[in-house]
Structure 1
Amino acid sequence: MPRIRSVATVPALDRRTLLAAGGAVSLSAGIGLALRPQSPAHGAPAAQAPVADSVAHAGEGVAAAAQKAPAAFVPYTRGTTLTSVATPRSGSSGYRRLGTGPGWKRVLRDELAAAKTGRADRRTTLAAFVQFTDLHLTDVQHPMRVEYLRSGKRNAWRPQEALTVAGAVSLVERVNSLRGAPVTGSSLHFVMTTGDNTDNNSKTELEWFLKVMSGGRVSPNSGDPRHYEGVQASGLKTYWQPDSALRDADKQAGFPHLQGFLDAAVRELRSPGLKLPWYSTVGNHDALPLGVYGSRGDSYLTDFAVGGKKLMSLDPATSNAILASIKYARSPKGAEFHDMLRAHARQMRSVTPDERRAPFTPAEYLRAHLDPAHTGPGPIGHGYSSANLAAGTQYYTFRIADDVIGVSLDTTDPGGHFEGSVGTTQLRWLERTLRENEDSYVVVFSHHTSKTMRNTQPDPARPAERRHGGAEVVALLGSFGNTLAWVNGHTHENEIIPHAAPGNRSFWEISTASHVDFPQLARVIELVDNKDGTLSLFTTLIESAAPHTTDFSDLTQTGLAALYRELSFNAPESRTDLAGRSRDRNTELVLKKGSTTRR
């Protein structure tokens, strides 16, 4: 049995721990959240504390840890895609039911380093954590929703969207059921959600997200509390009308008639909340209206979001024009969208106004995370701090383990568009962070991938500041020897890319599929030292806890979560390649230990 070191131990008082405990002033400048030692009470990163207190607590933790023998761990694969995966049961067309299929095997990736024999008997665990991404918790009755673009592109609206909250709760239940990491059996340290936690920058969605993650009762409803007022009760054949016998376009493709579905979809449900500490990273749908428009503070869009009119149908030509405008960033501040809404005001339907649907600002996003009501298992702020609030930033560092730090970036572009970038101030901060922590391994988290950071719209708050794309971030990470991985989402697709750099300064980019589009996955990542000059990163995908097989008569919380998965599989014109290749799923990613001397 290999000897495994628990990630829950408190850092020793070496240089890197003193940086953590002391606040590492140069790290915190401009972002306000420095590395912090773990709390001996529960092995999670502690809430902000005075420097002297942090050092004292760290010392107590080391003393206590020294008296305990390392725990013996065994691999835990139950509930992962190593054992089973949701798979269509029969047929090749029409609405297809899901069942349980064989799991996905683990694939060795050795493009960056050779895998040496005997490593399984030598390795020790550095850290183990879970990545959520692209939950897209959706207020489906919100006036700003653009379901009507389905007239131009069928996958512009998803039939499963009313069940995002039930699906996310089931994912939380899955993580809570894991008794250890799939390969090492180590305790899981934390969960990181890499953005697009909400779908439409709405306060309703933000509240639901925070309650799903930290625990509480959630009512995924807005407007009239007595009944659903969205497109799925509109009588329009463009959308699946689950409660109606109407032969809409989706029923013609085999979608079921489910009486009572909409009442169940907006009914209150309960999230147990994660049992692990969790951290948050911001995505474009969290930051921008529709995830694309740099129109923060726009009074017209704010009034429309909370108002009593909703557009539910649009001609295909106008839909295609708006889709092209979004794709090619022809109108990053939303002027063309404004004009379209005004031109179609007479076609809008009346809905119940609701102030809770207002867009949230970056400051409100931070305050909501810092609210004690949403702390759950911690840490306070879920990575963000009051200093982030004061500086107006949404990037930070945190201590993962005694020799691993996490870096959460803000890759959204306030100037508009769904692709991302970072400003010069943040890029220089990242460079300082890597340089000042060269004796720690680094895992970087962001929403956007390196391939989707090509947007250099100027930040309205910093119009003179240059924006930097993914290629520059890759080059920076590759110029240090301590970066192990860049973990992200955004594309809704599993993809793992090796980034090779001279002098053992290579790292892996790990992009994970969303939890709104099939196959609705999250990922467990384990970092291990093979004790032979190499490291391994093990990636293992997980599904929600909902059963693979659905029962159309089961409209309970669990039944809805199962339907969420099956509906996403059957969504018209949805992509079928989002699971990625086998080399992008369950893997062992081998990496040489890098030089800590910068090029």
Structure 2
Amino acid sequence: MSRTRSVTASALGVDRRTVLAAAGAVTLTAGTGYALRPAESHAATAAGTPPAGPSGASGAPLAATTAAPAAPLAPYTRGTTLDSVATPRAGGPYRRLGDGPGWKRVVRDELAAARSGRAGRRTTLAAFVQFTDLHLADTQHPLRVEYLRSFDSHLWRPHEALTVQGAISLVERVNALRGGPVTGAPLGFVMTTGDNTDNNARSELEWFMKVMSGGRVRPDSGDPRHYEGVQSSGLKLYWQPDSAVRDADKRLGFPHLPGFLAAATREVNSPGLHVPWYSTVGNHDALPLGIYAPGDPYLAEYAVGGRKLMSLPAAEARKLQDSIKSTRDPRGVRLRELLKAHTRDMRPVTPDERRAPYTPAEYVKAHLDPAHRGAGPVGHGYSPANLDAGSQYYSFRVADDVIGISLDTTDPGGNYQGSIGTAQLTWLERTLRENKDSYAVVFSHHTSASMDNTRPDPGRPAERRHGGRELVALLAGHRNVLAWVNGHIHKNLVTAHSTAGGHAFWEISTASHIDHPHLARIIELTDNKDGTLSLFTTLVESAAPHRTDFADLSQTGLAALYRELAFNAPGALPNLAGSAADRNTELLLKKD
């Protein structure tokens, strides 16, 4: 691939373009290609829409990343999983966590040979951080289906009341990082790849925006004086932290923690990210429960109402779970019938309009709200053009030689698996073609293997939907694509894609921040100046200490407890960290 812009290295191997990574809001029409310049983002709009000004609708100056520190930074390990990883100590069945050895970096050369001396030659193209699957959860929300636990223990998480505290601690970790662990390059931005919220609730969307951009957050809804979720129900099916009742989780060693629920719903403060951040939408952000097509009036009313179902016989729970997994009930008919049949079994809770589902337009508007700008950019990738077009995908300039592309892989027709429509696929192909002289990193929520839901979009019933195989083929047809970065599967997995006669690229899937081991990923792109490129991936945990103190119910103490409770959650999958080759890596590519 020819390059019209060269990469000039500093003495530290940090390219000046990495300082420019980050954002503003500038429209890109679907019918016309505009050259992406540093500090621009482009939404996909209806053909013929004129581009907005480079400062976005507000006219405010564009965000910029923190300047690179003067002292050499790289390589370093402190604050990353190269240095230390939360590790279970002896004992059981409930195991306390402590400091453990870090994970080594693995060189993967399936797509290009590793050449000696590259560390001394390389220059930096970009460095950024990926968050994914934060699942900020309003745990008192009536529409939650905790009662599925009667059939399968892992279908409810005992630590979900601490998602906000855990996410803030992750923000604190990124703010404390010294730059890219390999290159020392300043971190240009954070991209969150979807499932930022858990129940498609307005309360959760507000918490997410404040966690990322800074502010005071009270992770509570309903009656501010009393917790009204399953953890104060007295039901032995769930961990009752404040009560001495011998529930199922306490029999497994979970602690009795008086005051836990009051502490979990107490107001906390997020400093907000100190670098620009971008947002990608996931199925839990767009669909009630991350599963059902939006717009059902009964479910919407139930979400804000004064009744909540908290228990269900195991046989009925199994039938509901089977209907979800089978994907044959995208509109939630089975759930609606079940709730109506169990009206008398519901418990009273305080109604709250903040629990209402939000629409795609409201999601975009929240990002455009000046109150949530933080370190920028305006709209965090989205622009007014997205509102005009009813879209949630866009492109943005990462650095002079790199663009980012954020996709919307959620199917509005329902189902937790993904796909994209023909209009978006056409836009993606055109964006890659018109920016052929820039490397490209593609972001989405779903992975290639989880994009197998091609149910029609109710808003565009005649439009074809496209799955993961077609997307892999499209990306392999463009020699500027370096990586596809995603989440959804809650597991670290790095996949080499190389199709016959096509270009090779890496798919980087990162574990969630709701299930242990609670990770985010730093990604550094480098030119090795020997005909190869390297993508370095380094996992990080939150800033919370590995060791917990049951007497410490402070914001930091709860963030540490969040990790430990998740590790001990009944039925938690033990393999979500992935193999060593899916964690801290150097991923080599031929420079086409």
Task: Give the structure-2-normalised TM-score.
Answer: 0.92
Change (3 A) 1:45 1:89: same
Query: Does the 8 Å contact 2:25/2:56 carry over to 1?
Result: no
Cα distance between partner residues in 2 of 1:204 and 1:80: 32
Amino acid at match of 2:472: V
Checking the alignment, whether the CA contact within 8 Å between 2:164 and 2:219 is kept in structure 1 is yes
C-alpha displacement at 1:505, in angstroms? 1.2
1:16 equivalent in structure 2? none
Partner amino acid for 1:29?
A
Q: 1:577 maps to what in 2?
A: 575
Q: Residue 597 of structure 1 aligns with which residue?
A: none
CA distance in 1, matches of 2:198, 2:54: 38
Q: Distance in 1 between matches of 2:304 and 2:16?
A: 49
- What is residue 82 of structure 1 aligned with on the other side? 82
Which residue of 2 is the match for residue 566 of structure 1? 564
- In the TM superposition, what are the counterparts of 1:301-340 in structure 2 within 5 Å? 301-340=299-338
Deviations 1:416-453 (A, max 9, x none): 11000000110111110111111000000000000000
Does 1:162 pair with 2:172? no
Aligned residue for 1:436?
A: 434
Q: How does 1:134-173 map to 2 (within 5 A)?
A: 134-173=133-172
2:42–2:395 Cα contact (<8 Å) kept:
no
Counterpart selection for 1:3 from 8, 13, 26: 13
1:455 alignment counterpart: 453
Taking the aligned partners of 1:441 and 1:36, their CA distance within structure 2 comes to: 12
Query: How many residues of Structure 1 are paired with residues of Structure 2 in the alignment?
Result: 569
Structure 2 Cα separation of the partners of residues 163 and 2 of structure 1: 40
User: What letter corresponds to residue 28 of structure 1 in structure 2?
Assistant: T
- 1:249-285 deviation per Cα after TM superposition (whole angstroms, max 9, x unaligned): 0000000000100000000000000000000000000
Deviation at 1:299, TM superposition (A): 1.1
Q: State the distance in 2 between where 1:500 and 1:182 align.
A: 28
> Residue 29 of structure 1 corresponds to which residue in structure 2?
30
Correspondence list, 1:367-446, <5 A: 367-446=365-444
Equivalent AA in structure 2 for residue 496 of structure 1: V
Q: Could you say if the C-alpha distance between residues 71 and 372 of structure 1 is closer, same or farther in structure 2, counting changes exceeding 3 Å?
A: same
| Structure-to-structure mapping, 1:86-101, within 5 angstroms | 86-91=86-91, 93-101=92-100
Give, in angstroms, the shift of residue 297 of structure 1.
1.8
Partner of 1:593: 591
Which runs of 5 or more residues in structure 1 are unaligned?
Answer: 12-19, 595-599
* Aligned counterpart for 1:505 among listed residues 503, 508, 533: 503
Given the superposition, is the C-alpha separation of residues 232 and 538 from structure 1 closer, same or farther in structure 2, using an over 3 Å criterion? same
Of all paired residues, the percent bearing the same amino acid is 68
Shift of 1:227: 1.6
Q: Which amino acid aligns with 1:79?
A: G
Q: What displacement does 1:400 show?
A: 0.2
Superposed counterparts of 1:458-469, under 5 Å: 458-469=456-467
SS of aligned partner of 1:451: coil
Q: Is the 8 A contact 1:35 1:398 kept in 2?
A: no
Give 2:524's match in structure 1, choosing from 482, 506, 526.
Answer: 526
| One-letter amino acid of the structure 1 residue matched with residue 247 of structure 2 | D
Distance 1:378 1:36, change over 3 A: farther
CA distance in 2, matches of 1:4, 1:313: 56
Q: Secondary structure at the match of 1:50?
A: coil
Per the TM alignment, residue 53 of structure 1 is displaced from its structure 2 partner at its CA by 11
Deviations 1:335-372 (A, max 9, x none): 01100000000000000000000000000000001000
Matches within 5 A, 1:175-186: 175-186=174-185
Match of 1:233 in 2: 232
Q: CA RMSD in A?
A: 2.5
The secondary structure found in structure 1 opposite 2:561 is helix
Matched, 1:50 2:53: yes
- Is 2:481 aligned against 1:471? no
CA distance 1:33–1:515, shift in 2 (3 Å): farther
Q: Is the 8 A contact 2:42 2:396 kept in 1?
A: no
Q: Give the superposition deviation at 1:2.
A: 5.1
Deviation at 1:75, TM superposition (A): 2.3
Q: Is the 8 A contact 1:7 1:186 kept in 2?
A: no
**Deviation at residue 4 of structure 1 after TM alignment:** 2.3
- Measure, in 2, the Cα distance between the counterparts of 1:177 and 1:73: 13
Distance 1:72 1:518 in 2: 33
CA distance in 2, matches of 1:169, 1:480: 37
Cα distance in structure 2, aligned partners of 1:139 and 1:178: 29
Supply the distance in 1 between the matched residues of 2:467 and 2:324 (Cα, whole angstroms): 19
CA distance in structure 1 between the aligned counterparts of 2:283 and 2:503, rounded to whole angstroms = 30
TM-score by length of 1: 0.91
Change in 2 beyond 3 A, CA 1:510/1:141: same
One-letter identity of the residue aligned with 2:178: R
CA pair 76-229 structure 1, distance change in 2 beyond 3 A: same
1:10–1:205 CA distance, 2 compared to 1 (3 A): closer
**Residue type at the aligned position of 1:342:** K
The answer (yes or no) to whether the contact 1:496–1:510 under 8 Å persists in 2 is yes
Q: Distance in 2 between matches of 1:542 and 1:85?
A: 9
SS of aligned partner of 2:249: helix
Shift of residue 308 of structure 1? Answer: 0.2
1:4/1:71 contact within 8 Å kept: no
CA distance in 2, matches of 1:517, 1:314: 24
* Match in the other structure for 1:15: none
SS in 1 for 2:495: strand
Alpha-carbon distance in 1 for matches of 2:171, 2:56: 33
Counterpart for residue 189 of structure 1? 188
Query: Letter of the aligned partner of 1:252 in structure 2?
Result: R
CA separation in 1, counterparts of 2:440 and 2:238?
46
> 3-state SS of the aligned residue for 1:181?
coil
Distance between the aligned counterparts of 1:168 and 1:480, measured in 2? 35
Give the letter for the 1:364 counterpart: E
Cα deviation per residue 1:493-530 (whole Å; 9 max; x = unaligned)? 00000001355711000000000000000000000000
Q: Shift in Å at residue 72 of structure 1?
A: 5.0
* Counterpart Cα distance in 2 of 1:307 and 1:543: 37
Distance change (3 Å), C-alpha of 1:161 and 1:466: same
Q: Is the 8 A contact 1:4 1:70 kept in 2?
A: no
- Residues 282, 69 of structure 1: CA spacing in aligned structure 2 closer, same or farther, 3 A cutoff? closer
